[in-house]
Structure 1
């Protein structure tokens, strides 16, 4: 079994070598076995109160890709050459409000809470949404809160891909209104329940990338004793 020293080195090596791929070889495909593991990393990701406010869409349809391409400047090379292209959707407030059918389904059918525990958790969620973050005052603020949670599985997918030697690109460089409009027209998104949060591509690079640059630890970590 790998000891802790080796594990630390492995973790740091993965994060030191992972980067946002800027060009993909269209001839090289990610194996279904590897992609399944990447998606399991997304599925198993944590979320606020375990409510999983997301959906992942593997977009293989070339016609739809071509339609969104003019409005997705940050995804142009990924749409053209990546092996797998995934849309990450975030649930709308209608689903994420403390008394919604979706919350009831999650707490009852997925989390299997007792009636008593379900009531306690709903009350906590109600207080959190109404008083702590004041999410109910603005649908836009509410939706942005949900979108922030989708970046947790996004990060886990990036890391899982790097561990498997798969290149990846996280993306939010696109015109949200135009891309969403196309995805709604094509039946990819149900606008009542979902909105587009971000995109992520997987594949294998077709060019070298510039060395990673990051600030030093002392610039990003402050310790308060």
Structure 2
């Protein structure tokens, strides 16, 4: 699949097919897709806690119960719930705070999402969760920030991207200097 086609095909749907499971081989491919993302100083600040409904329902339910009720309604049939975290500091502590770790973790997570799309899976990130509860329930160290939770699974038959709109290119991309709304 052409890269641009893959990027355009990716969407964050809200209707999963609970009868289809994500295999360990597919999970391994998602991990590899994230693993090879670029990062500042090659520090790889991302960490993921993967809760697989098929392998450990208790862990999956624990994370499910950390989500807002609104998210629980559409997430209930996904196979994987994944906690996405980023290191607050570089591994080499002499470098101090890693101000780019969320950026790098976002790149790794996007790699994972594109990997999911390439395998016919749907991945949807969310911010609607109780961060404190996630930290407590899953033992997230204090030197990591929980950036999002991602649902992964197969889209329900008939689920597809609705009319997706993006801002006009001229509002987001500029040559040589930032242009104001009126073009100046």
TM-score between the two structures when normalised by the length of structure 2: 0.78
CA-CA distance at 1:145 after TM superposition: 4.2
2:152 to 202, 211, 218: 202
1:56-109 CA-to-partner distances (Å, cap 9, x unmatched) read: 10023143034313x36446422x11111111112234xx3xxxxx327xxxxx
How many residues are matched? 169
Aligned-CA RMSD value: 2.5
* Structure 2 CA distance for aligned equivalents of residues 195 and 72 of structure 1: 22
Which structure 1 residue ranges, 5 or more long, are not aligned?
1-6, 97-101, 105-121, 130-134, 136-141
Change over 3 Å in CA distance of 1:75–1:149 after alignment to 2:
farther
Which structure 2 residue ranges, 5 or more long, are not aligned?
53-58, 178-184
Does the alignment pair 1:152 with 2:152? no
Q: Secondary structure at the match of 1:23?
A: coil
Contact 2:13 2:160 in 1 (8 A): no
Q: Which structure: greater helix fraction? A: 1
Does the alignment pair 1:103 with 2:53? no
TM-score between the two structures when normalised by the length of structure 1: 0.65
Runs of 4 or more above 4 Å deviation? none
Q: Secondary structure at the match of 2:92?
A: helix
Does the alignment pair 1:37 with 2:29? yes
Higher relative contact order (CA 8 A, sep 6+): 1
